[in-house]
Amino acid sequence: MKNILIALETGEKEKEAFRRAAQDAGVECAFVFTTPAAATEEEIAQACFIVGNVPPKKIAASEKLDVLQLFSAGADPYMPKGVLAEKTVLCNATGAYGQAVSEHAFAMTLMLIKKLHLYRSSQLQCRWEDHGMVTSLAGATVLIVGLGDIGLSYARLVKAMGAKVIGVKRRGGPCPEGVDELVLTEDIDRVLPQADVVMSVLPNTKETVYFYTAERFGMMKPGAVFVNCGRGNAVSHEVLLQALRNGEIAGAAIDVCETEPLPADSPLWREEKLVITPHVAGNFHHASIYEGIIGIALENFKNYLAGKPLGNVVDPATGYKR
């Protein structure tokens, strides 16, 4: 008997899919369907396969746990020693967020270059005013820093609008479809001055903390815009604020912050050139995310029961999909 914990809100359709997978594999399974917050320490301790971001402290390096399938792309809370046993395979949900997050970043980009955030502010103040010239993605150079599923989805969107796309990756390789030029992370300073749009979807690693320094903002075009839908700690609040106030960039949009929730007294809230959304680009705000997560989890569950290799396995060195 295998104890399976599904710590993710599921309907009858999804529950039946997991039960049927066990039946088809001829493996007797006992299922517990719950949520991450409601999952008990006993339920977690007895499980050999968990779907969901259960509290790390409740896992306590359980030797019974063969697989932890997250519903997030990031796996930071589960990386420290002592959270998972050495035998436990950690899998993430990379691939489920591409459409939703890339569309959010794309909408933010258009909002900035068309100055819609400024017109919204004018509307709320009942002011009929012209904010001047705008720019276009047609003929613009868009720099995408982090070419995973989200970055590539965003590349296709801006490419369709006529942009030149430069992608930045840690490791080299063939230039992906929808990308005109590929550069390594260590060479980013060479291409930053070319960019009209810098879109960041960097993961959270030792190398990416405060990646966007004051010096790097100084390299950007004064008319460039910066969009961050990756990790908030890629840029400090103070550095971003100064880059905006000093006119080093024309505007910025962030769905992630160095500190979350962003404190009510943060000056970022009142910065006219900045658009803020409260880490909602992903989450479960679009149906494609939930469907993608269920698809990834179910496929890995079937592979686990069949003794086949798992997908979306997290690299311990980076905290992201290998």
Active site residues: 231, 260, 279
CA torsion sign for 37, 64, 26, 304 is positive
Instruction: Centre a 10 Å sphere on the Cβ of residue 199 and count the other Cβ atoms it contains.
Output: 28
Residue type, 85: A
**C-alpha 173 chain-centroid distance:** 22
Give the neighbor-by-neighbor strand order of the sheet with 251-254.
Answer: 181-184, 164-169, 141-145, 197-200, 225-228, 251-254, 274-276
Taking the chain, what is the end-to-end CA distance rounded to the nearest angstrom? Answer: 31
What token pair was written down for 12?
């009858």
Answer yes or no: are the C-beta atoms of 202 and 208 closer than 8 Å.
Answer: yes
Q: How distant is the alpha carbon of residue 230 from its chain centre?
A: 5
57-59-63 Cα angle (round to 5): 140
Select from 72, 98, 203 the least CA-distant residue to 157.
98
Classify 176 as helix, strand or coil: coil
Looking up tokens 């992608």, which residue turns up?
A: 167
44 φψ region: left (φ > 0), alpha (ψ -120 to 50), beta (else): alpha
Q: In a 3-state reduction of DSSP, which class is residue 307?
A: coil
- Unique residue bearing structure tokens 């949009």: 253
